[in-house]
Chain A
Amino acid sequence: MASIELRGIRKLYGSVEVVGRLDLLIRDGEFLVLVGPSGCGKTTILRTIAGLEEPTEGTVLIDGRDVTAVPPRDRDVAMVFQSYALYPHMTARENLEFGLRARRVPQDDAASRVADVSRMLGIDALLDRYPRQLSGGQRQRVAMGRAMVRRPRAFLLDEPLSNLDAALRSQVRVEIRRLHRELGTTMVYVTHDQVEAMTLADRLALFDRGALQQIGTPDDLFDRPANVFVGSFIGSPAMNILDGAVAGESGAPAVRGPGFLAPLLPGAHSGLDPGSAVRLGVRPHDLRPQPELGHDDPGFRCAVEAIEPLGSEVHLHARGEFGRITAQIDRAALPRPLDPGDTILLAADPARMHLFDTAGARIGR
């Protein structure tokens, strides 16, 4: 088990910067998820920790030791690849044993480790099969097993669930979480899927275009997104972002924009003059339809474009003068059956509003 620290890591491919001056500390035993859209540099960071990529600048430390120049095999970390990278001409057992042989683990010890791990992963019946004879989920387990038998100081997982179907994915997710609890080993997990990130992580590090946007617990990122990007990346459906201006009238703080008026908690816009341009973030599930449609009622006035029933809730896509807006509403909370074209007023609790400046950075709290 180990802590991993990146200091001033920068990676250039030619003149293209894929990771820019990153400082990151992964604590011993922590489950850290690196998340972000494709091309944000998260896989490069993982490969840099593994030693498969050499950083252009900066140092990698594992347990305080500088390993920047240490080859992958001497870093004592294990990696699970997106494609699993199982050795195609070896049986599952040979795949598991490969790393132990390379490290000259005595035969008896190796056999018992393989037995333990395969029992733990439920692959003991598959050990004599070749990878091509295994299903996707089984291969995924073998790949996990290959990493686990080595008892490395840290696991690096590169989108290990992306090749599995949805049902299997959530099942394996739970399993990985359980394994982490049982093993207590540091895990660094890369994904572009925010659901995976939220459900697995002790902490999340969200990247965009090579830069760290925010690091914290899943709740931190969800409740207090550091900027518009974090706000809209975390959460599904994505947060609605509307352009408006601080309205100072009648002493009650609010943001007003074309076709909407959103009251805020007192002090939410401290330091901003009335009339300052801001961006308002509101999550779809915080929006509620209002029964009355009074002319000056606060809320978002809009016309329904589409309704997606999802069982207990509906996703409501609407358009107002401010642009598009999405609301996630309990079916029971719908005042009346809605049809496309109906005009509706949506409102949200002032406490649930997120305020960002025009550059996208969070304001207040």
Chain B
Amino acid sequence: MTCPLPLASCLLPFVFCLLPFESRADELVLWHAYIGGEEEALAEWSRGYAAENAGTTIRLLRVPSEAMTQKLASAVPRGHGPDIFIWAHEQVGAWADAGLLRPMPAEVERAAAGIHLRGTVNPLVYRGALWGLPLAFKSVALFRNTDLAATPPQTTDEMIGVAAGLTDHAAGRFGLAYEAGAFYYQAAWLHGFGGGVRNPDGTLGVSSIQNARALAFAADLVARGIVPADADGALVAELFTTGRAAMAIQGPWFLPAARRSGVPYAISPLPEVLATGLPARPFLTVEAAFVSARARLPEAALAAAADLAGPTSARLRALRGGQPVTARAAWNDPSVAADQDLAAFRAQLARSVPMPNEPRMRALWEPAAGALRAVLRGDVDAGTALQEADRRFRIFTRPAPPASDPLPYAAALGIAMLAGAAMLARRARRVRLLPRMRASRHAYLYLLPAGLGVVVLLTVPFVVGAAVSLTAHRGGEFSFVGLRNFVEILASRDFGLTEPENFYRTLGVTVLWTVLNVGLHLAIGVALALLLKDPWLRLRGIYRVLLILPWAVPNYITALIWKGMFHRQLGAVNAVLGWFGVEPVGWFDRFSTAFAANLATNVWLGFPFMMVVTLGALQAIPRDIEEAAAIDGAGPWMRFRRLTLPAILPALAPATVLGCVWTFNMFNVIYLVSGGNPEGRTEILISQAYRWAFSRQEQYGYAAAYAVLIFGILLAFDLAARRWTAREAAGT
């Protein structure tokens, strides 16, 4: 009678997972990712709205911005999602295709053009329908430190002239700071040079003479030292707010930091590109309120969304949240009109290009950014880099392979399962499984909760993953393609052996990564354990705790810290190298250094495990055996090789196998430290699978095939390792 309780407690979490978000009948749930002033403005609006519309309350739920799209994609189709959500327009195509959005009625669409500023409604139109109501527009503009640059540059040459004059590397000052390696920022130059992310026929693509000139222009800024190389958002903010950047290209999200810093600043639109006479036009993002296709009260949700996008709310959001709002009427408010910062962004709005909202756009970022960074480093000329980017973009957005007939597969699977079941049944009869199970049924009852956990948490996801690997996923649709994904990966027709997406190259990097890591883990872990073993060592306990700490800290935190340490301008590693007169190293510019940075991080993370295992094994070696060896005349090396090593090997062998599996799949370090840079060359299989699943057109089937291949490789490795250790054990 003791069984139901543990069983119930084990099932409870699953039950909770299945429960939908419980909300009251008259309540609207709104998801957003706002923080600070924007969140306060939103809260104030929701209170006002509830007061004016008795019977409708709005529950706000802040979702971390990194998680928003994932959560929406999984929650909305299952009816657990919000009624309204706020996000940027670039997802419109994907969401509309996936059926997450309710299109705006025709009358709302007609009214929108009158309510909102020109250019802020169109980005929300996809396949002829309006899918959301605009709230705010965001684009970058030029921030100036008015102490350094009093007047806004009108042309790029003027900007370069001013920036060059204000650049002082000795003082750590740059004339202009922006995320040169980010394609989002580069877009302004593309448009300024007459290019962009569309081919003449309207399809997406970046290979053009204009774009090549724009890339060369950006490379020149970096090469002349006016703009810091590989700066990220944090560095740009740091430089500008400490007065070490005369100008910065930043968006409205930078306003709070700029105001806090006390640096006198002014904002102006980006300058005109002198060579073309065209203004540098950044990408425009429109934040909008969307009504979920599964909203329980669609009319009420629509009304609330319209009110949120309307002039009253817009005034509140502009004043409280500092948002460049889309509602025209709000700009008539004297307080809003007087805000110079907002006015500057409004001026930039007229000189911006909406970011394409079709789903394929998301697959363009990776190849385009790769081309940009390669050109900035001077590795390749811009034209070639862009052609290469287009080629990769075409591969990433290739259509799904033709569907296969699932029947033969189903038949094969059925036969295999029948055969398996028959074999199991025979085996069970032979070892008299049933009577034995009946005899120890209480033991099996106790195992049941753990068994259920294994099935729910491991077996089911594995089977689902394996099933997905036989499909192709495009635009929310899965089609059965049999083993085509595997064939494509293993044949690797699209990518040459030297290209980062090539399966065999990635496998090679992964094996190198695993071997070097585990080798260093072992060497350092064993060496430290030997040092810490001496029971008379003073402060031994403190050393042990200190050395185990790297293991105790969550590895993503460690990874982020190490990434910061390898920062070209602000990192500790380059600072230390600087003391010895070494020029700052761009750690993530080359495969060797980026790989070394990943390696250093993961070695730091991994050696404590081997140290702890070794320490445990060392404790088991009787002290008198070592003393006997000492008296026998064996030196330290002979004692280690002939006594210690054979004694700790039985413990180290499984730890090494485990370490290999962990390292083989060490996604966090690769993703967070090098991020695959340069251009995916440091990706390992697992992070490559992630790219295919989440930044290349959601090719879940292809990614799942990668995962199945990884599983196969590790299974083979484990079986081989087990055989080897069994043989070793039999040998002694």
Give the B-binding residues of A (Cβ under 8 A): 50-52, 71-73, 75, 77-79, 81-83, 85-90, 98-99, 101-103, 130, 146, 150
With a cutoff of 8 Å between Cβ atoms, the chain A residues found around residue B624 in the complex are 81-83, 85
A98-B642 contact given A81-B624, A85-B625, CB 8 Å threshold:
yes
0 or 1 for each of B628-639: is its CB under 8 Å from A? (1 = yes):
111111110010
Closest Cβ of chain A to B619, distance in Å, is 15
Contact of A146 among B632, B634, B642 (CB under 8 A): B632
Contact: A77 with B631, CB < 8 Å?
yes
B647 at the interface (CB under 8 A from A): yes
Q: How far is the CA of A88 from the CA of B642 in the complex (A)?
A: 11
Contact: A89 with B646, CB < 8 Å?
yes
Closest Cβ of chain B to A360, distance in Å, is 36
What are the nearest 10 A-B pairs in CB distance? Answer: A99-B632, A102-B633, A85-B628, A85-B624, A73-B633, A102-B634, A72-B630, A89-B646, A72-B631, A81-B624
Contact of B635 among A85, A86, A88, A102 (CB under 8 A): A102
28 contacts between A and B (CB under 8 A): A50-B631, A51-B630, A52-B630, A52-B631, A73-B630, A73-B631, A73-B633, A73-B634, A73-B635, A75-B631, A77-B631, A78-B632, A79-B631, A83-B624, A85-B624, A85-B625, A85-B627, A87-B643, A89-B647, A89-B732, A90-B642, A98-B634, A99-B633, A102-B629, A102-B632, A102-B638, A146-B632, A150-B633
Closest Cβ of chain B to A361, distance in Å, is 38
Q: How far is the CA of A73 from the CA of B626 in the complex (A)?
A: 12
Instruction: Kindly list 12 other residue pairs between chains A and B, CB separation below 8 angstroms, not including A50-B627, A89-B732, A101-B638.
Output: A50-B631, A52-B627, A52-B631, A72-B631, A73-B634, A78-B631, A81-B628, A85-B622, A87-B628, A89-B647, A99-B632, A102-B629
With a cutoff of 8 Å between Cβ atoms, the chain A residues found around residue B647 in the complex are 88-89
With a cutoff of 8 Å between Cβ atoms, the chain B residues found around residue A50 in the complex are 627, 631
With a cutoff of 8 Å between Cβ atoms, the chain B residues found around residue A71 in the complex are 630
0 or 1 for each of B642-664: is its CB under 8 Å from A? (1 = yes):
11001100000000000000000
With a cutoff of 8 Å between Cβ atoms, the chain B residues found around residue A52 in the complex are 627, 630-631
Give the A-binding residues of B (Cβ under 8 A): 622, 624-625, 627-635, 638, 642-643, 646-647, 732
Closest Cβ of chain B to A54, distance in Å, is 11
Closest Cβ of chain A to B651, distance in Å, is 14
Closest Cβ of chain B to A288, distance in Å, is 48
Q: How far is the CA of A180 from the CA of B634 in the complex (A)?
A: 26
Closest Cβ of chain B to A295, distance in Å, is 62
Contact of A81 among B627, B633, B646 (CB under 8 A): B627
Closest Cβ of chain A to B729, distance in Å, is 11
With a cutoff of 8 Å between Cβ atoms, the chain B residues found around residue A86 in the complex are 625, 628
Q: How far is the CA of A88 from the CA of B624 in the complex (A)?
A: 12
Contact of A87 among B629, B630, B631, B635 (CB under 8 A): B629
Contact: A73 with B646, CB < 8 Å?
no
Q: How far is the CA of A85 from the CA of B621 in the complex (A)?
A: 10
With a cutoff of 8 Å between Cβ atoms, the chain A residues found around residue B630 in the complex are 51-52, 71-73
With a cutoff of 8 Å between Cβ atoms, the chain A residues found around residue B633 in the complex are 73, 99, 102-103, 150
Q: How far is the CA of A72 from the CA of B625 in the complex (A)?
A: 14
Q: How far is the CA of A50 from the CA of B628 in the complex (A)?
A: 10
Q: How far is the CA of A85 from the CA of B631 in the complex (A)?
A: 12
Q: How far is the CA of A81 from the CA of B624 in the complex (A)?
A: 7
Contact: A83 with B632, CB < 8 Å?
no
Most buried by B among A51, A86, A87, A103: A87
With a cutoff of 8 Å between Cβ atoms, the chain B residues found around residue A83 in the complex are 622, 624
Residue of B nearest to A71 (CB): B630
Residue of B nearest to A156 (CB): B631
With a cutoff of 8 Å between Cβ atoms, the chain B residues found around residue A87 in the complex are 625, 628-629, 642-643
Closest Cβ of chain A to B652, distance in Å, is 14
With a cutoff of 8 Å between Cβ atoms, the chain A residues found around residue B628 in the complex are 79, 81, 85-87, 146
Q: How far is the CA of A73 from the CA of B628 in the complex (A)?
A: 10
With a cutoff of 8 Å between Cβ atoms, the chain B residues found around residue A89 in the complex are 646-647, 732
Closest Cβ of chain A to B314, distance in Å, is 78
Closest Cβ of chain B to A162, distance in Å, is 14
With a cutoff of 8 Å between Cβ atoms, the chain A residues found around residue B646 in the complex are 89
Closest Cβ of chain A to B586, distance in Å, is 50
Residue of A nearest to B621 (CB): A88
Closest Cβ of chain B to A277, distance in Å, is 47
Q: How far is the CA of A99 from the CA of B625 in the complex (A)?
A: 13
Closest Cβ of chain A to B648, distance in Å, is 11
Residue of B nearest to A105 (CB): B633
A150-B632 contact given A85-B622, A98-B642, CB 8 Å threshold:
yes
With a cutoff of 8 Å between Cβ atoms, the chain A residues found around residue B643 in the complex are 87
With a cutoff of 8 Å between Cβ atoms, the chain B residues found around residue A79 in the complex are 627-628, 631
Closest Cβ of chain A to B609, distance in Å, is 25
Closest Cβ of chain A to B632, distance in Å, is 4
A73-B622 contact given A52-B627, A87-B643, A89-B647, CB 8 Å threshold:
no
Residue of B nearest to A50 (CB): B631
Closest Cβ of chain B to A121, distance in Å, is 17
Residue of A nearest to B630 (CB): A72
Q: How far is the CA of A77 from the CA of B627 in the complex (A)?
A: 12
With a cutoff of 8 Å between Cβ atoms, the chain A residues found around residue B625 in the complex are 85-88
Closest Cβ of chain B to A22, distance in Å, is 21
Closest Cβ of chain A to B556, distance in Å, is 41
With a cutoff of 8 Å between Cβ atoms, the chain B residues found around residue A78 in the complex are 631-632
Closest Cβ of chain A to B623, distance in Å, is 9
With a cutoff of 8 Å between Cβ atoms, the chain A residues found around residue B635 in the complex are 73, 102
Most buried by B among A51, A52, A78, A85: A85
Q: How far is the CA of A364 from the CA of B620 in the complex (A)?
A: 54
Residue of B nearest to A74 (CB): B633
Residue of B nearest to A78 (CB): B631
Contact: A98 with B631, CB < 8 Å?
no
Q: How far is the CA of A87 from the CA of B643 in the complex (A)?
A: 7
With a cutoff of 8 Å between Cβ atoms, the chain A residues found around residue B631 in the complex are 50-52, 72-73, 75, 77-79
Contact: A72 with B627, CB < 8 Å?
yes
Residue of A nearest to B650 (CB): A89
With a cutoff of 8 Å between Cβ atoms, the chain B residues found around residue A99 in the complex are 632-634
Q: How far is the CA of A52 from the CA of B627 in the complex (A)?
A: 7
Q: How far is the CA of A78 from the CA of B627 in the complex (A)?
A: 11
Residue of B nearest to A99 (CB): B632
Closest Cβ of chain A to B636, distance in Å, is 10
Closest Cβ of chain B to A166, distance in Å, is 24
With a cutoff of 8 Å between Cβ atoms, the chain B residues found around residue A90 in the complex are 642
Residue of B nearest to A82 (CB): B624
Q: How far is the CA of A87 from the CA of B629 in the complex (A)?
A: 9
